[in-house]
């Protein structure tokens, strides 16, 4: 019969060494008093910087930096607001200019029709109350609504910016170049000249 000691399981794990804590308050080698763990913790805490323990000079520097930062962001915000305002102004100005350009092109394309109405009126075809006269009145009224106006009248001073001289005639009755007759009426939309007036010009005799 086998011995009970032979049946007991063997413990293959290595023997753990016992942990020895030296709790002596006096170091046997140096003879100095040792610090306890609580004292070491307090000393470590004292070595860490205290974020609240700032000097007056440090606080003044932080206050100045904070004020400078606030002033910088306010300045940036003001500049951004001014740039946005200028951008909106440019957009509105460009939109208005594009609108005027489109209207000008449409009216310029309709000028030959207005010329035909003027010729019909000159020949007495636009009798008051006639259907053609009513149509002509509506067309002219619609153009005037957009600011279309005639350029070139007999007797006014010749202006090369508004008039195109087709004929020049010497005259002793004028001291400056003067519109003697309007061959084809010119038109302008506000300050934009759509078509110069074709005119005959009386010039002073040499």
CB 169 within 8 A of CB 199: no
Cα 161-136-181 angle, rounded to 5 deg: 35
- pLDDT at position 48 is 47
Domain annotation covers residue 161: yes
Assign residue 200 the CATH number of its domain: 2.30.22.10
Residue 73: inside a domain: no
* Residue at 112 is within a domain: no
Give the predicted TM-score (pTM) of the model. 0.54
Q: Are 185 and 151 in contact (CB under 8 A)?
A: yes
pLDDT in tens, 14-56: 555 566 666 666 666 666 666 666 555 555 544 444 445 667 7
Position 96 in a domain:
no
194, part of any domain? yes
Q: How many domains does the chain have?
A: 1
Residue 164's domain spans which residues?
149-206
């Amino acid at each position: 019969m086998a011995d009970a000691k032979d049946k007991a399981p063997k413990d293959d794990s290595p023997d753990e060494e016992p942990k020895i804590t030296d709790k002596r308050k006096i170091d046997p080698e140096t003879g100095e008093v040792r610090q306890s763990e609580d004292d070491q913790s307090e000393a470590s805490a004292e070595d860490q910087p205290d974020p609240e323990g700032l000097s007056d000079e440090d606080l003044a520097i932080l206050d100045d930096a904070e004020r400078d930062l606030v002033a910088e962001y306010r300045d940036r915000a003001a500049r951004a607001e001014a740039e946005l305002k200028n951008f909106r102004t440019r957009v509105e100005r460009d939109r208005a200019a594009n609108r005027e350009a489109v209207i000008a092109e449409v009216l310029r394309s309709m000028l030959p029709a207005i010329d035909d109405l003027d010729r019909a009126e000159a020949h007495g075809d636009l009798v008051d109350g006639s259907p053609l006269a009513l149509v002509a009145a509506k067309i002219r009224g619609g153009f005037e609504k957009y600011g279309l106006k005639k350029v070139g009248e007999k007797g006014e001073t010749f202006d090369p910016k508004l008039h195109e001289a087709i004929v020049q005639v010497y005259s002793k009755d004028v001291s400056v170049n003067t519109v003697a007759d309007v061959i084809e009426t010119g038109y302008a939309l506000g300050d934009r000249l759509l078509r110069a007036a074709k005119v005959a010009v009386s010039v002073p005799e040499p």
